[in-house]
Chains A and B, each alone.
Chain A
């Protein structure tokens, strides 16, 4: 028998604290696979953020610095500017990146910081118990939108990638989903291209991974994957919004 699927070495063989069916586990594995395949474990520095993934450094076996809520792109800027030959990435949720961290992500992207941002969008605040996030859909019930998000009261779901992609400093911006093996294959490709963008020194790279939060959404893991496909993908379209060779693809180095 030949082994055709194994745990990547950068992903520690330990149980995770994530809820059953939470797609953080899939995202962690994709990042670990890419780090393994690119052979960059020894020169990678991750920046952990605040959300369910606050302990990502317990699972990914690379140097990590933990940032305050929203500040990871600024911390990553400090690291990458000092150590330009290291691979520096952030791993952030939608509250961290699109709410409190909105200024930091915008300006890191605008400066074309040569970092890679892994953006986990599950349309909710998971760690703190299921409150509204900037990416929460209209009509979606959360603990702070108990009657469903109403645009007049709480605005609209924020499409961060569409705001960042036009910036000249952004070299790669892609959105993928983690809701099926087919989607996961494409997500892996996007994660890999994002890290490769940094290795090529082209500029800022970001990959948004549409993810589930079964407990926050009040759905089973299987129902949550279906809900992601049916409700999130229409609002957050998949694809590469910016890539080398697509239209105004990336700033010159």
Chain B
């Protein structure tokens, strides 16, 4: 399961998440969602640290963040 899940219909493609992401692992879908936006997607789950910066700044609360349980990677 991915560390960051972005609701593709709530996202308005404002790009704030991508600019605050420290490892820069967020990108934007080439597809349009039902509201006509290019929603954000997690491009590199491997370098995501679940820091929640993206979720904090998302005005549409489109992002849910997970962290592996202690012991797992």
Binding site for B on A (CB under 8 A): 1-7, 11, 15-16, 18-26, 29, 180-181, 184-185, 214, 220-222, 225
Looking at the assembled complex, report how far the CB atom of A87 sits from the nearest CB atom of chain B, in whole angstroms: 22
Q: In the complex, what distance in Å separates the CA atom of A184 from the CA atom of B54?
A: 12
* Dominant SS among interface residues on chain B: loop
Q: Report the Cα distance A21→B9, complex, angstroms.
A: 15
Closest 9 CB pairs of A and B: A25-B59, A21-B14, A20-B12, A5-B65, A20-B14, A1-B66, A5-B55, A221-B14, A181-B56
**Chain B 39-70 interface mask (CB, 8 Å, partner A; 1/0):** 00000000000101101111111011111110
Jot down 6 A-B pairs with beta carbons below 8 A, ordered by A: A1-B3, A16-B59, A18-B60, A22-B59, A26-B57, A180-B20
Which size bracket describes the interface of B in this complex? 20 to 34
Are A3 and B19 in contact (CB-based, < 8 A)? no
A74 vs B18: C-alpha distance when bound (angstroms): 41
The residue in chain A whose Cβ has the minimal distance to the Cβ of B68 is A1
- Most B CB atoms within 10 A — which of A19, A181, A214? A181
- Asked if B27 is an interface residue, CB under 8 A from chain A, the answer is no
Majority DSSP secondary structure for residues of A touching B:
mixed
Q: Which residue of B lies closest to A22 (CB)?
A: B59
Minimum Cβ distance to chain B for residue A12 (Å)? 10
Distance to closest chain A CB from B8 (angstroms): 12
Is A23 within 8 A of B19, CB to CB? no
- Determine which of A3, A15, A180, A222 lies in contact with B66 in the assembled complex, contact meaning CB atoms within 8 Å: A3
A11: chain B residues within 8 A (beta carbon): 61
Interface contact B15-A18, CB-CB below 8 Å? no
Inter-chain pairs besides A1-B1, A26-B56, 10 sampled, C-beta below 8 Å: A1-B67, A2-B66, A3-B65, A4-B67, A15-B10, A20-B13, A21-B12, A24-B59, A26-B58, A184-B57
Among B12, B37, B57, max chain A CB count under 10 A is at B57
